[in-house]
Amino acid sequence: MESDYVIVGAGSAGCAVAYRLAEAGKSVLVIEHGGTDAGPFIQMPAALSYPMNMKRYDWGFMSEPEPHLGGRKLVCPRGKVVGGSSSINGMVYVRGHAMDYDHWAESGADGWAYVDVLPYFKRMEAWDGNGHGGDPAWRGKDGPLHVTRGPRRNPLFKAFVEAGRQAGYEVTDDYNGRKQEGFGPMEQTVHKGQRWSAANAYMKPALKLDNCELVRGLVERVEMTDGRATGVVLAGGKVVKARVEVILAASSINSPKILMLSGIGPGKHLAEHGIEVIADRPGVGANLQDHLEMYIQYASKQPITLYKYWNMISKAVIGAQWLFTGTGLGASNQFESAAFIRSRAGVPYPDIQYHFLPMAVRYDGQAAAEGHGFQAHVGPMRSTSRGAVTLRSADPAEDPVIRFNYMSTEQDWDEFRTCIRLTREIFAQEAFAPFVKHEIQPGDAHQSDDELNEAIREHAESAYHPCGTCRMGRADDPMSVVDPEGRVIGVDALRVVDSSVFPRITNGNLNGPSIMTGEKMADHILGRSLPRSNDVPWVHPDWQTAQR
């Protein structure tokens, strides 16, 4: 059990790194604790609420009781399966805004500005606007990751975009192109009606090469010899040797956990658990961030929502059509319209995201009692709250302690109330007049700041975008965990390449940025890089003085 590179985790970033290293002729061994991604629940886009709630595919993490959300414990699903969270996520594809990456570079992640990362987004994409417009010059054509758009047949998808326009917002043909800001079509990692996870895009092609192998196992810690990573220790004591490097891509929850179990992390915390300190890095596990969102739900006047399929017979018919033809409602995640807007004047780029869904339903598959309805998922994109992942004990079998510390700043509450009020204004536009019956959640009774705070406390949910726990930055910054090439500061031959390294959360869903990070880190490992881009993204000309 030995290879040049040992990659821990066959998730979004790990699969990308494995493919690029194997393609370059390196011998690669990928260790994944989860099992196969075969089976209709994972591969059928519309069935997305199933794998996310199945112990077989999910680590089943929970947050600690969140003090600012009434002591609720929130679920934190992470994929325990080949493909990682890209095999159980909502398949929404968002690159993030150019200014997100410029902020990374400014905060110490040199070489990760938008001009640096855009070429990697292009390299990884096989983009198809599906005849619905888009920004082809800004997109990739022949990468491994297929990105498409849903058919948008339901009239509610068009109503949402039109309502945004009527409310005075921008419209955009491609939020992943030159202009993110505005209302428009949403993109998904779906190909020919199938979930296009990192497993399908990267891992399966990598495994066809002679020099890449996938091994099942739970990694307990990195084996260190004289300050150098030489391999990993699996549950049961088996050691897998790395001739060149150990690469962690185990998620923003498990990567810091493995580092701490290996003696890399906050010295005092490690000593409390009887772990010998190899590198005292206080940033390991710190800087935990996520997106919170709320489902603003409305009852529908017309029976045109997906609720009419919310019965066993219809689900069976949709499933059968998808199974035999790869088409129909089963072939889309049903998130087909989106928006990115700014919360107020003076905010230079969008800090609010919308997912629109032509049904009132929760992620756990529970439909609203009202029957026919629709909803917008909304939440602030750049929360100022920070949490941490810490060890519960020195036992690798135990889940870590996850404290998001959601809504711990006044700014977060202010931004969230703004989100709800702006959403209500959008649904009050003429475009929704034929469809809106009444508001289900939070409901008309919630108007004042206090009433909205109460609704947020009770109903805000994680968007499942944890990141930031092994922050990338300058080597002389004590809170940095890895340098801009992903190398863990203070030890040799060890890297982290997943969403843990994000200095700050990007706006939108994190799967695209996680895969891009794997793509770019693979080039750092191989000592090469793509030329920087000259493309200049659109920024609202009146951002300093106008909210829309």
**Range of 432's domain?**
2-526
User: Does the annotation flag 233 for ligand binding?
Assistant: no
Q: Residues 138, 131: contact at Cβ < 8 Å?
A: no
**Catalytic residue IDs:** 465
Beta bridge partners of 265: 280
Q: How many domains does the chain have?
A: 1
Buried b (16+ CB within 10 A) or exposed e, 522-539: bbbbeeeeeeebebebee
Distance (Å, rounded) from C-alpha 307 to C-alpha 325?
A: 23
Three-class SS of residue 373?
Answer: strand
Q: How far is CA 239 from CA 1, 3, 18, 32, 232, in A?
A: 7, 12, 20, 14, 6
User: Does the annotation flag 91 for ligand binding?
Assistant: yes
Q: Residues 87, 208: contact at Cβ < 8 Å?
A: no
Buried b (16+ CB within 10 A) or exposed e, 311-341: eeeeeeebbebbeeeeebbbbbbbbbbbbbb
Phi, psi at residue 163, to the nearest 5°? -65, -40
Q: Measured at the alpha carbon of residue 434, what is the angle toward residues 440 and 45, in degrees to the nearest 5?
A: 65
**168 occurs within a structural domain:** yes
**79 occurs within a structural domain:** yes
User: Does the annotation flag 90 for ligand binding?
Assistant: yes
- Element holding 524 (H helix, E strand): helix 511-526
146: nearest Cα among 108, 191, 207, 185? 191
Q: How far is CA 497 from CA 79, 194, 276, in A?
A: 17, 27, 24
pTM of this prediction? 0.98
**535 occurs within a structural domain:** no
User: Does the annotation flag 89 for ligand binding?
Assistant: yes
Count of C-beta atoms within a 10 Å radius of residue 25: 10
Distance (Å, rounded) from C-alpha 444 to C-alpha 440?
A: 8
Phi, psi at residue 175, to the nearest 5°? -70, -10
User: Does the annotation flag 401 for ligand binding?
Assistant: no
**Whole-angstrom Cα Rg for the chain:** 22
Q: Residues 6, 230: contact at Cβ < 8 Å?
A: no
**401 occurs within a structural domain:** yes
Three-class SS of residue 452?
Answer: helix
Q: How far is CA 85 from CA 331, 466, 473, in A?
A: 19, 11, 25
Distance (Å, rounded) from C-alpha 171 to C-alpha 182?
A: 5
Cα torsion 32, 509, 408, 481: sign: positive
Query: Which two three-digit tokens encode residue 245?
Result: 């490097």
Pairing of strands 125-127, 145-149: parallel
**547 occurs within a structural domain:** no
First-to-last C-alpha distance (Å) of the chain = 58
**541 occurs within a structural domain:** no
**521 occurs within a structural domain:** yes
Three-class SS of residue 254?
Answer: helix
Pairing of strands 264-265, 279-280: parallel
Three-class SS of residue 370?
Answer: coil
Distance (Å, rounded) from C-alpha 59 to C-alpha 428?
A: 40
User: Does the annotation flag 244 for ligand binding?
Assistant: no
In 427-501, DSSP assigns E strands to: 436-441, 461-462, 494-496
Q: How far is CA 95 from CA 253, 339, 357, 389, 536, in A?
A: 22, 14, 20, 25, 15
Tokens 């997109």 — which residue? Answer: 139
pLDDT digits (tens), the chain, 548 positions: 999 999 999 999 999 999 999 999 999 999 999 999 998 899 999 999 899 889 999 999 999 999 999 999 999 999 999 999 999 999 999 999 999 999 999 999 999 999 999 999 999 999 997 777 899 999 999 999 999 999 999 999 999 999 999 999 999 999 999 999 999 999 999 999 999 999 999 999 999 999 999 999 999 999 999 999 999 999 999 999 999 999 999 999 999 999 999 999 999 999 999 999 999 999 999 999 999 999 999 999 999 999 999 999 999 999 999 999 999 999 999 999 999 999 999 999 999 999 999 999 877 777 777 899 999 999 999 999 999 999 999 999 999 999 999 999 999 999 999 999 999 999 999 999 999 999 999 999 999 999 999 999 999 999 999 999 999 999 999 999 999 999 999 999 999 999 999 999 999 999 999 999 999 999 999 999 999 999 999 999 999 999 99
**538 occurs within a structural domain:** no
What CATH number should be reported for the domain holding residue 269? 3.50.50.60
Q: Residues 531, 122: contact at Cβ < 8 Å?
A: no
